Amino acid sequence: MAKFIKFPCTNTAVVAPLSPINNILVNVEDITTVTATGATGAGAKTVVIGLTGRAVQAAGYQTLTITVSTSVGAVANPTLTTGQANPLVAAVRGAMTANPGGVVTTCSPGFDDSVAAPNPNGIRMYWRTATYA
């Protein structure tokens, strides 16, 4: 099992000194819960990761909220279907149990459930922003 999960947050619309790709590292031992927010269909979606341990003691953070987009340069809400396993929660939990043979594993959100996409799997999703609270 990896010690850290890397969330590559991508936003090509940012300007210097910000980076278009900002890797957020989370210690697997600090994760207590993983939940998703957002209504069924093409609405705003987030993953909320509950934190404990060193992260709380050092900075007082209790959650990490990561938004998802189907575009690397704009807000484009993914389509997720009711009755299906939430792919965002599944991606984080999969990364938590991955055995990459190293210290860090990368968490990718996968594809949405859009049927209008030319890709039979839907539209590729990206982690867009990350906010600690």
For residue range 64-92, list pLDDT tens digits in order. Answer: 899 999 888 888 888 887 667 788 999 99
- Of 9-23, 47-61, 74-88, 100-114, which range is least confident? 47-61
Is the pLDDT confidence value at 55 over 60? no
Our measurement of the distance from residue 16's CA atom to the centroid of its chain's CA atoms, rounded to an integer in Å, reads 23
Looking at residue 47, its pLDDT comes to 92
pTM beyond cutoff 0.85: no
| Three-class DSSP category at 107 | coil
| Domain parsing of the chain, residue ranges | 39-132
